[in-house]
Chains A and B, each alone.
Chain A
Amino acid sequence: MAELHIIGQIVGGTGFPQNSLFCKWGVHTGGAWRLLSGLKEGQTQVDIPQVGDMAYWSHPIDLHYATKGLQGWPKLHLQVWHQDSFGRCQLYGYGYCHVPSSPGHHRISCVTWRPLGSWQEQLAQMFVGGGPQLRSPDLIYSGADRYRLHTEAMGTVELELGVIMRHFDKYGVES
């Protein structure tokens, strides 16, 4: 019966090779969690910053969860996409972070990565865009044997999340 509010925003992304970016996001929870209201997934607009490197989205996140257990604490997964000058979109990074478990305001920066692909793919990516994507994006948060995957580090996504917890103390969870 404990409740959790996650209110915040996806501020923006920085450190990517190009900065005309947008972000798809989703919140993944375990079976014990019920979404009472709010959208748990979405997509930001494309921001093409004219000053500076950081693409600002300021995309709101407002979720209200009820839970019957701590298992499967919400985690946030992100996909950063790049929209090139032709309006085509290509994946720039997968990212994943936990929603903080302490109440209050948090600044989170979520690092992202993307699959590297074979050299042919890299070459193709250089010239015609596109790029390798995970066939099953679940991999972002399921801990399979990821070591075989060759990846490349991309930029970071900045998040600001406010966490409000309610009735957790009733069940012996100190915050």
Chain B
Amino acid sequence: MKDQQSSDEDPGETLKRTLKAQLQRRKKRVLERSSAQGTHVDDYDDDDVEEISTVQQRSEDEGPSEKAADPDGLSRPPTGSLRGLSSRIQHTADSQHLDDFVTRRLEEKRRAARAKVENAQPQEVSPEPASRLQSLRDRDTVTRFDRAVDPERAGRQDVPPTLSTRVKFREVARRASKGVPTAEEAYNFFTFNFEPDPQEETEKISRKRKKQKKASEGGDEEGGEDDDEQEDAEVDEGNQDEHEDQSEEAPLVRDEEGDLFVIEQSSQDFLEVKKAEYIGYRKCIQQESELLFRPSFRTVPTSIKLPENMKPRFLEDEGLYAGERPPVSLTNENILENRILKTEEGKKWFGDDGRIMALPDPIKESSTRPPLFQMEEDVDPALHTVYRKAVKSKYAYLYIAGSADPEGDYQLDVDVSGLIFSHHPLFSREHVLGARLAQLYDQYLTRQHNNLTGHLTDKLNGSRIALRNMLNVHGSQSLTPVMQQRISEYSLEVRNTRQLRDSEQEKDRTLLKNIVKVWKELKAQRDLQKYTNTPFKLYLRRENVDRASDEREYEDEILAEVVELEAESEEDYQRKLAEYKTQLEEWKLWRRKQKSKKKKKKKKKKGQAQDETEEEDEDQEASESEGPVEEGHPKPEPPEKPDFDSIEQQVREKASRIRRKPGEAILIPELSASGNITASELCPRPETARREDVTRRSLFIKILYNDKEVSRTDSRSLNSDFKVHFGQIFNLKIVNCPQSISLQVFEEIGSSCSLLAQVYIPVPEPSVLTGNGTLEEFEFSSNQRVMFDHDGVGSDVPLSFEADGSNKQTLLTSGKLSCCVSWGIGEDDVPLAPPVSQQPGGLHSGLGRLDAVTYIGASGLYDMKKIGEWATQSRLDPNDPKNGSIMQLLKLASSGEVTAPEYFRLEQLQEEFNFVTDEELERSKRFRLLRLRSQEVAEFRNYKCVPALEREVTDKVFQEYERRLKEGEEIDTRDHLDPQRARKAKQHQKIREAVINRFILAKHHFLLSDLVIEEEIPSIGILGLNLFKLAEPKRPLKPQRKERKKVTAQNLSNGDIKLLVNIIRAYDVPVRRPQSGPGQSSQTAIQGSDWLISQVQVRPFVEVSFQRTVLQTTTAEGPNPCWNEELQLPFSAPNGDYSTASLQSVKDEVFINIFDEVVYETGVTDKDKGKSIHTRVEKHWLGSVKIPFSTIYSQSRIDGTFKVNTPAVLLGYSKERSHGTNGGYDALRSLSEGAFITLFITIEPQLVPGETIREKFDSQEDEHLLQAAERFERDAARVYLDRPCITTVIDLNGKTVFITRYIKPLNPPQELLDAFPENSQEATALVARFVSLIPSLPDRVSFSGTCDLWSTCGEFLTLLAGDEEEHAVLLCNYFLSMGKKAWLIIGTAIPEGPTAYVLTYEQSRYLIWNPSSGQYYGQYDTFCPLQTVGSLVNADNVWLNIQEYTSPMTINFDVSKANLWKPFFSRSFTHPGLSSVQPEQLSYKRADKAAAADLQDSIEKILKEKIMEWRPRHPTRWNRYCTSTLKQFLPKLELSGGQDMAEGHRHELQSLLGDHRISGFPLHLPFSEIGPIIEAVHSTGVHNIQGSNVEFALAVYVHPYPNHVLSVWVYLASLVRT
């Protein structure tokens, strides 16, 4: 535009000067405008104004400059250049110089260009190209804006040129200037829109706006340029022209401005359309190359990288370590170097060697994580995994912790190689010698092998030479003390070695001699017996020696020895002499003192001075003649001079004894087993017998692991050389911790075998594995005495080889067993050994594995000293970090803290952080209580509320528990009265605890049915029945029994449980005896008064006492009373614990006592004048029934008629029925004797009885047998619900045992049999009585109802307590041994429930024995307590009752009938020959009368005290006379076995105690403890008799039976004086 303007006004260049004034004016206007518009700050001064103007000018200026630049270089792309320019302008605003420089250059170029144009173009053409060019150039500007110039100009000049012309002109101009159009020109030519713009005005405005914008933008920046322009103002004439133009136009635009904005605002005003740009690739490159830096990838010379005048230095060459550089490609490195060099301080990145500094390669050569295949081999054993098959979990181990590996991954390999007898009973004499010879030869060989003599001789020679050398070297000079010491050391060593060698030589010599001697004996023996038994042959090889040299050596040796000995003895002598001298000195000193003392004494005497001096002189002589004057200090003896001659003599003697003579051949014995053994046919009879015996024998070895036989070798026959080779290896898979491994050598003769010896083998260390274990020889011997009638020498039999039988030897069977025990190796070479040490309790084995000591393989070394020794021995490298921990440990140990290694090893920091000490924790009573409760210790099992605070727990809580603990150690004899019993009770307690512990775990095993209760879905059948029931007629008079609801025990509390006792009736109660005895005159009065009452005979009532609660029925009348009353007794469990286990162990018993109510008139009182009669009621005990609570609990109800336990003698009563009263009834009744009572007892509410443990016990029975037994029992239970059938029982060790093993004839105590030698009936009864006297203790009481254990008879007799089964088994066994046919009946009885009785068959009838009472019943006895018979057992078989009925009366006991009794062992399943578990024989202790007498006294004392205690308000008088009478009577009762012999006794008593009314009875009990006796006495209620004149009599008798079985009789009587 400027160009065009300037070119317009070029002709009027002359006007320039004039126009300058206009310029000024315009500037002013601009100033005004800017101030008016507010775009500029008003307080701009003139400079500012000028600036603005220049801005405008500048902006105009750009165009021409571009245009000018355009022609002269195509290198600049139009837009880019422009932008670059403008940007550069803006950018360099602060750096004026550059700007100036550029503008100047631009000016120049423009001018040049302009000159060209001017030359080439006509005047009128010039504006168009300019405008076009500008539009072309200035991309930013709007095209219309460019064009707008034209009309404006045209308007101004009034010469509007047509488009075409304009184009043409321009074309011409271009051609003129360039000739060839540029690329842009060509482009523009085709794309440009040459249409004239209609909107001049708007264009102008917009342009104006542009200008203003630009001005405001670049105002500051272009100030500098402004200056420039002003400087060369004359150059820019055109510019000024243009300015002038614009200034002329400016007002116009201004005027119109407002309207234009308002009216014509279209999108076109604000938008501009751009063309798609394209920049040529090369241009791009060019442009980029200007902006970007491309480092070259050529190698940079080292000199550049290093500081000047430096040579590269290679550390590696200098021997210093330089890590390997990470691999980088050379190009990359070069590029990096080049780039770095360009930066400031680039050189600091280069090392001395001229390369970029780099850390060593961080990547390890191998990959850190080992690949999978590698892992299998060297993985930590802790990380081993085991592939376990998916198995049914039935027997899988239950819990994680303490996981005893059920699969038993441990294996012991026992290699039994063989054994050699060094003596055997079957040895012939020759064998004995042969064995001795072999032994000696073995000894010889080992000695030979060790060659100690040779070694010692060498050593001796060596030290001699060394000594000699030393003496030679230093011989002449005086020796230094060090040398002297060394010499003395050497000589000492020489002496010691010589002595050792001598003794060894001697041994060698004697051994050789012995060998020869034994061989000679052997030969003599062979000659004597004329046959050979052993293949031994001894050769003596002679090795001849050169006599001369040998002699020389011998002499040398002797000489050397002599010299040494001489030297030694000389030395010895010198030493002794020195000693002697010092002693002498001392002695003299002492002597002098004595003398001086004497002198002082003697001075007083004055006279013998001369003598004294003489004496003194004598002393000074120190001659040996004079002994010491005073005792105390003997005068020392001078040592003797050594006798050198004798030394040589001695040496020679010794040498001849222990050494081979010079020149004598060396004898080398050689033992071979190549000799022939004389064939058996050629031997004499005894020898052949012996040989036959040998061949009959064979040996095998049992391997016992933890005292259980696990395996045995094949049996191998004994050879004639008495060597047995087994060569068997046993792999033991073990589960239990190894405690002992032993091998038992058994010898078999025919079918019998006997134990020869047992060899214990140490359990190998875990490191001893199968590969590396060595065979070891274990010696064994047995002291069995064996004698033979043939040539065998026997064992433990004196034996002599001398002709005269002297020098006897006794040889025991002995030998060597070679075997090897080691831990097995699994398939994957994993040792199957248990971990090194299982720390006890809470310590974790994981810790153990990380333990330093075990880690380095020193297993089991926990002794610090040993570790120390081991460490020094194995020369641990203290610097090795692996050994760091052990070194530390040793340091600690050596510093004296050996005693406290616990926390060093485990939790060493624990102590510091502890809140409290262990002791304090232990002291806490609350914690103790909690723990005891959770351990279910009996006293605390159901402790409900543990206090929250420590202080609320009192010490009282523990008292009982602690007392029990203390009692555990010491036996409390106070309660038991009998130390024997106490011990038994203790033993029983122990067994009980063991059993309970065993079952504690079993209790936690639940079946599905225990946990999940599923109501059975009623089947169609049941539904149908129920429907029928609806249709049934109602029968209110026939009430149906309703099942009571069972209550589980846990939600019960005290008072909830009641015991219901329904007493229905009694039969045959003893009746009062009419007092019509002879001579009872005194009693007639009473009898008379009682007559009316006594017509009733008896007025019995029943009293039930339970847990000291006593209830009684009303009084009925007559001997067959009927009460039909219900009594309710409360029940409270011990400790308020109503759990099943606790209820089962309740030992309380229900006493049902029958009393007779006797009413006495005490006479008529005077006051009431006969209106009232005072009577006294007495109750007389008639009998009782005892039912243990545990029975009621387990049976849940007891219903039946029981025999009342009446005393043998009941004073004042008779059991005879009154004759003729009811004769018809008698016929039936006569079958039994005694009174009976019908009862019904139950517990309200009904409790669930505890169930027995269904644990499957391990067993030694055959698996087949067990299965068959299980099947048999199951079948029995299915078909016959109510018939108990037992085939297997559990013994005290918790093992399942087949029942027939318990039955075996066993001898009863001989004393019992001797009692009635001719009467077997009596003896049988006595045996039964003996059995019944053993106290009965139900298993469910003693073992908390866990299970029913059967002890063997031996155990039963030791424990002296047992269940009915034990009694029955014992009785049955006794009967069998007495030659009876006996069976065990498994059935149910009242009141016991399921129980065992004994059946015998004698005299063609069956008898049923109650083992607990000792009574027997006939098969058809109505009152037999046995109700059902389930099965029979004897030693051979078990039979199940398959008859229709179960009652003993209705069944046939003939077991041979298969249709009545189903046998367990039948033809298809035969009896496998089960051996018995019972002992071979029972041994009994004899009855101890003295102990019984003691016991008797103490029981009597206790009972008397108790009775007095129970009568606190009345004086208790004892009638001594009566007591003594009763005492005499009791033994008779015992003898008669409680049989009725009352009549005579009664008469006796009556006669003795004429004026007393007496009522009393003897009680009989088996003795176990004092408690039950007291209880029984209390229940009779004798003490309740009131009255002033009552006296008591109490007699106790204890009858001892063998084996501490005691029978206790208590006779209790009350006497009333009448």
Contact = CB atoms under 8 A, between A and B. Distances in A.
- Tell me whether A and B are bound partners: yes
Contact of B906 (A24, A31, A145): A31
Contact of A133 (B385, B910, B917): B385
A137 B403 contact: yes
Interface in A135-175: 135-139, 141-142, 144-150, 170-171
B920 A1 contact: yes
B916 A68 contact: yes
B372 interface: yes
Contact of A24 (B381, B400, B850): B400
Interface string B380-396: 11111111111111001
Nearest to A136: B382
A139 B380 CA distance: 11
Contact of B400 (A41, A124, A128): A41
B921 A133 contact: no
Contacts of B376: 118
B390 A90 contact: yes
B392 A37 contact: no
A145 B370 CA distance: 13
A59 to B, nearest CB: 13
Given A28-B844, A66-B924, A83-B393, A138 B382 contact: yes
B846 A142 contact: yes
B706 interface: no
Contacts of A115: 385
B850 A142 contact: yes
B904 interface: no
A36 B934 contact: yes
B914 A43 contact: no
A34 B923 CA distance: 13
Interface stretch (B110-118, B893-901, B925-933, B1315-1323): B925-933
B369 interface: yes
B390 A25 contact: no
Contacts of A129: 389-390
Nearest to A25: B400
A29 B1005 CA distance: 26
Contacts of A149: 379, 383, 385
Given A31-B907, A31-B910, A147-B369, A135 B915 contact: no
A128 B389 CA distance: 8
Interface string A50-67: 000000000000001011
A99 interface: no
> Which of B399, B400, B931 has the most chain A CB atoms closer than 10 A to its own CB?
B400
Interface stretch (A9-17, A69-77, A100-108): A69-77
A40 B399 CA distance: 10
Contacts of A121: 387
Nearest to A22: B393
Q: Which of under 10, 10 to 19, 20 to 34, or 35 or more describes the interface residues of B?
A: 35 or more
Contacts of A148: 370, 375, 379-380, 383
Contact of A32 (B375, B379, B381, B910): B910
A142 B385 contact: no
Contacts of B403: 137
Interface in B838-885: 842-847, 849-850
A124 B389 CA distance: 9
A29 B930 CA distance: 19
Contacts of B849: 136, 138, 142, 144
A133 B388 contact: yes
Contact of A28 (B382, B401, B916): B401
Interface in B1537-1551: none
Interface residues of A, number: 66
Most chain B CB within 10 A, of A67, A72, A136, is at A136
A38 B934 contact: yes
Contacts of B850: 142, 144
A88 B380 contact: no
Q: Which of B399, B843, B909, B924 has the largest number of chain A CB atoms within 10 A?
A: B399
B388 A146 contact: no
Interface string B939-959: 000000000000000000000
Interface string A70-94: 1110000101010110111111000
Nearest to A66: B927
Contacts of A132: 385-388
Nearest to B374: A148
B158 to A, nearest CB: 94
A139 B930 contact: no
A148 B373 CA distance: 12
B918 interface: yes
A117 B385 contact: yes
B822 to A, nearest CB: 21
Interface string B791-831: 00000000000000000000000000000000000000000
A141 B850 CA distance: 13
B924 A1 contact: yes
B389 A135 contact: no
A69 B392 CA distance: 42
Contact of B390 (A43, A70, A88, A170): A88
B74 interface: no
A144 B920 contact: no
A36 B948 CA distance: 13
A8 interface: no
Contacts of A142: 382, 844, 846-847, 849-850
B398 interface: yes
Contacts of A117: 385, 387
Nearest to A1: B916
Nearest to A87: B392
A138 to B, nearest CB: 4
Contacts of B379: 148-149
Contacts of B390: 84, 86, 88-90, 128-131
A2 B915 contact: yes
A23 B137 CA distance: 85
A72 B846 CA distance: 14
B383 to A, nearest CB: 5
A69 B383 contact: no
A89 B396 contact: yes
Given A34-B921, A87-B392, A43 B399 contact: yes
A154 B393 CA distance: 21
A66 B928 CA distance: 11
Contacts of A88: 389-393
A144 B382 contact: yes
Contact of A71 (B387, B844, B907, B927): B907
A1 B915 contact: yes
Given A29-B842, A68-B915, A124-B387, 13 more contacts: A31-B910, A34-B931, A36-B930, A37-B930, A43-B399, A88-B391, A130-B390, A132-B387, A133-B385, A133-B386, A137-B403, A149-B379, A170-B915
21 contacts: A1-B921, A28-B401, A31-B910, A34-B921, A37-B934, A38-B934, A41-B400, A68-B914, A71-B909, A79-B400, A81-B393, A83-B393, A84-B390, A88-B391, A130-B389, A133-B388, A138-B844, A144-B849, A146-B383, A148-B375, A171-B915
9 interchain residue pairs of minimum CB distance: A129-B390, A142-B846, A37-B934, A88-B390, A132-B385, A138-B846, A171-B915, A90-B390, A36-B930
